[in-house]
A and B are shown apart, each in its own frame.
Chain A
């Protein structure tokens, strides 16, 4: 699976958009980009994933560059409850098994009041 690089920490003002970058320059054509987050002491929570098209759901938007070497997770209106560690993962997941999910260090996002 491709290695991902994320900044260790970021701050964002409450109510503003939080843009979390992720670099995955060695991603292969059949690897998805997944984003999870982990709020302190809780289990990781799925946010969104995509292959090459931009994706949006009720939680966030995922923007993947055309060359797929990087992506940005966007939380459009960050709240204090969005303070968490955000993990970007690039992996090939098929057939329903997620054992390829490898969680690195992630980005600690702190939403400031």
Chain B
């Protein structure tokens, strides 16, 4: 699992409340990613980071912000959760090897906004 831990694994929150999801890695990888997965849409990239304090938007970044103050932690924040953000969220890291780059994913966080 490349030392990736997501927390919490499950969360139910009310519309309009802020929510922060945490992704923690233990192997000092440079690149980290947040995806969401919804039925009929596959995995979609929300934000990614290419180093401490270096982040950029992905395909579906509206309503989300991220922060990376330490190499090992990549936080995803929903400033004011909406029902459309009910989803399964996956964190990932990528590792460059001799034959290319591989991505490794966490176990996911199931978020329900009621």
The chain A residues found within 8 Å of chain B, CB to CB, are: 32, 36, 41-46, 49, 51, 87, 93-99, 101-106
Secondary structure call for the A interface: loop
| Distance A105 CA – B12 CA, assembled complex (angstroms) | 27
> Which single member of A36, A44, A96, A99 contacts B58 (CB below 8 Å)?
A99
* A98-B30 in contact (CB<8A): no
Secondary structure call for the B interface: strand
> Which single member of B56, B101, B107, B108 contacts A98 (CB below 8 Å)?
B101
- Which B residues touch A101, using CB under 8 A? 45, 103
Stretch at the interface among B62-70, B74-82, B91-99: B91-99
Closest to B97 in A: A96
Known: A42-B108, A106-B42. A93 touches B100 (CB 8 A): yes
The chain B residues found within 8 Å of chain A, CB to CB, are: 30-31, 33, 42-43, 45, 48, 50, 56, 58, 88, 90, 92, 94-96, 99-108
* A97-B101 in contact (CB<8A): yes
A9 to chain B, nearest CB (A): 15
- Which A residues touch B33, using CB under 8 A? 98-99
Closest to B6 in A: A43
A99 to chain B, nearest CB (A): 5
Shortest 7 CB-CB contacts between residues of A and residues of B: A43-B105, A96-B96, A98-B94, A103-B43, A98-B103, A93-B101, A103-B42
| Distance A59 CA – B19 CA, assembled complex (angstroms) | 38
* B100-A49 in contact (CB<8A): yes
* B101-A46 in contact (CB<8A): no
| Distance A82 CA – B37 CA, assembled complex (angstroms) | 21
| Distance A105 CA – B41 CA, assembled complex (angstroms) | 7
* B50-A97 in contact (CB<8A): yes
* B94-A96 in contact (CB<8A): yes
